[in-house]
Amino acid sequence: MSAKITSVGLKGLEGYYVQVEVLVTEGFESITIVGLPDASVKESKERVSAALHSLGYSLVDMKVIINLSPAEQKKNGPLFDLAIALGVLKSGGFLKHKIPRDAGFIGALSLDGSVLPVEGMIAAILAAKKLNLKKLFLPFDSSIPQVDFQDLELVYIETLQDVIDVLSGQQHFSFIQPTEKEEESSEMERDFNQIIGHDFAKRALEIAASGEHYVLMDGPPGCGKSLLAETFRSILPPLSKEAQLEKISLHQLAGAPYHSLTLPPYRHPHHSASDVSIIGGGTNPKPGEVSLAHRGILFLDELGEFSKKTLDMLRQPLENEKVTISRVHSTVTYPANFIFIAAMNPCPCGYLGSSEQYCTCSEKQIKAYKSRVSGPILDRIDILLTLRPINLEGHNFKDIESSQVVKKRVVAAREKQYNRYDKEVCNGSVPFEQLIKSSPLTSKQQHYLQSISLRYGLSNRVQIKIIRLARTISDLKGENIITNEALKEAMKLRNKTLQGSSLNTNMMTGEECDMPYE
């Protein structure tokens, strides 16, 4: 009689239902696994056989056939050891009690019958919840946060015998004490009150944090680009419970450490990093920097020093907030919803346009340097900033707003967006149809935007970016509609040639007005 045990498989961060079918018959002692198993799954037959033997269950003169369904989906990792062992016990007649179909079993087996954590435990738990499983048997993992997974009961076990006892109706007491986590400090090493000047840039970063907009800063060395980027995380709100789980899952799959649950991730890869390390990949595709920055910040300093190939590979995650990695044996999709912050010098030497240093670059060098950042990449960036060194003479070092003050405004603006769209999504990533339906432009605003776009050659994507920015600016001011002033400020943030200039916004809603074209 065959036995069917429920388990969970992983394809990147996405999970899928796996039915472990086991048939034990009399015959020459052997264990065969089918269903596209990889090497780590094939090796489970040795682990399962040794674990059962250590618990007193002999497989002498037994032929075991194991099918991992769906058969067309490649299986990898030791995630199915526990389910396979239970299937052998059930089909072999060693386990008489019923195994519920709505209960899942995951975990790797040790040779002595212990159940060990495996890579991607959090992702497997989230997958089990999405698959509507009611109970999940798994080994205790200290990295799993103490979160209430609604409608999913987690049963932590130490050995295979613990699972048998629970299924047999015996009361199970877990002797594993949850690890006590220290309270995380909300204080950051960097704070906005440490940044002198750059009021326009700090205002732009506040808008970027409120609506999850992308930012590109350029300026000579030492003007404060890196400092602004490093301080940016201090004005972001803490991660929600769902975002925390996604963050931990991706870091577990990549084998990367993380230092805080509530703080948004901040990834800062060097410009010498390979495209695989940034985008993700490998034989069994692992998350790259764009996925490790999910729900947080990806900061690329010296953007012009990255290879053109690597930068062009950023197009998909910047546009779709996910990255798809295709290999011969599998295609994996990882989330990549991050705030993109980039910084670069105006030229290879860094002093083009500087009044303090002489630029030594030729026109050809400058053109080659800037051409590394292609037009499609620039089109996907919301805010373009040009920074200059700050003159400290006569500057007031007091009364500079702290990050906590700015963060309160950012949180309030985000709450306004969450309520408007009825989900945790910001203006920078909400579908444009939904944004414009909830906040339509007036005919005068449309005419004004069109005239500016024609004058400066702005693409349709850039025009949409401007509308998204204007919606965020209005949210920061507590406005329910996109205001004329917000539209004017959004245009200045997106077009560097308009920064510092005065734009005529004589657009009175519902009234006639003259719109200058010059």
Whether 220 and 357 have beta carbons less than 8 Å apart is answered as yes
Give the pLDDT of residue 518. 30
What amino acid occupies position 47?
Answer: R
Whether 232 and 202 have beta carbons less than 8 Å apart is answered as no
Domain boundaries, the chain: 3-167, 192-389+399-404, 431-518
CA 5 to the chain's CA centroid: 32
**Residue in the block written with tokens 């944004």:** 435
Give the pLDDT of residue 336. 94
- Give the angle 346-339-325 at the CA atoms, nearest 5°: 100
Phi, psi of 474 (to 5 degrees): -65, -35
Whether 325 and 316 have beta carbons less than 8 Å apart is answered as no
Whether 45 and 81 have beta carbons less than 8 Å apart is answered as no
pLDDT tens track, the chain, 518 positions: 789 999 999 888 888 999 999 999 988 889 999 998 988 899 999 999 999 999 999 888 899 999 999 988 888 889 999 999 999 999 999 998 899 989 999 999 999 999 999 888 888 998 898 899 999 999 988 777 766 677 888 899 999 999 999 998 886 655 554 444 444 555 567 899 888 888 999 999 999 999 999 999 999 988 889 999 999 999 999 999 889 888 988 998 888 888 888 899 999 999 999 999 999 988 778 899 999 999 999 999 999 899 888 999 999 999 999 999 887 777 889 999 999 999 999 999 988 877 778 899 999 999 988 888 888 999 999 999 999 888 777 666 677 899 999 999 999 999 999 999 999 999 999 999 999 999 999 999 999 999 988 988 889 999 999 999 999 999 999 999 999 999 999 999 987 656 655 555 444 343 333 333 23
Q: Report the predicted TM-score, pTM, of the whole model to 2 decimal places.
A: 0.85
Both tokens of 349, joined, read 């030497």
Which DSSP symbol is given to 281?
A: E
Give the pLDDT of residue 463. 94
Report the alpha-carbon distance of residue 423 to residue 418 in Å, rounded.
Answer: 5
The DSSP secondary structure of 415-442, one letter per residue, reads: HHHHHHHTSS--TTTS-HHHHHHHSPPP
Residues 6+ apart with CB under 8 A from 7: 18, 19, 20, 79, 80, 82, 83, 104, 105, 106
Both tokens of 273, joined, read 């990093």
Both tokens of 505, joined, read 């916004």
Is the CA virtual torsion 500, 502, 503, 505 positive or negative? positive
Cis omega (within 30 of 0) for bond into 70: yes
Kindly report the CATH number that applies to the domain delimited by 3-167.
3.30.230.10
Give the count of beta carbons closer than 10 Å to the beta carbon of residue 228: 23
Strand 215-218: give its sheet, edge to edge: 266-267, 297-300, 339-344, 215-218, 383-386
Paired strand residues for 340: 298
Whether 462 and 494 have beta carbons less than 8 Å apart is answered as yes
Report the alpha-carbon distance of residue 7 to residue 101 in Å, rounded.
Answer: 10
The DSSP secondary structure of 292-305, one letter per residue, reads: HTTTSEEEESSGGG
Give the pLDDT of residue 161. 93
Paired sense of beta strands 3-11 and 14-26, if any: antiparallel
Report the alpha-carbon distance of residue 497 to residue 478 in Å, rounded.
Answer: 28
Give the pLDDT of residue 502. 52
Give the pLDDT of residue 111. 94
Question: Residues, the chain, total?
Answer: 518
Paired sense of beta strands 215-218 and 339-344, if any: parallel
Kindly report the CATH number that applies to the domain delimited by 431-518.
1.10.8
Kindly report the CATH number that applies to the domain delimited by 192-389+399-404.
3.40.50.300
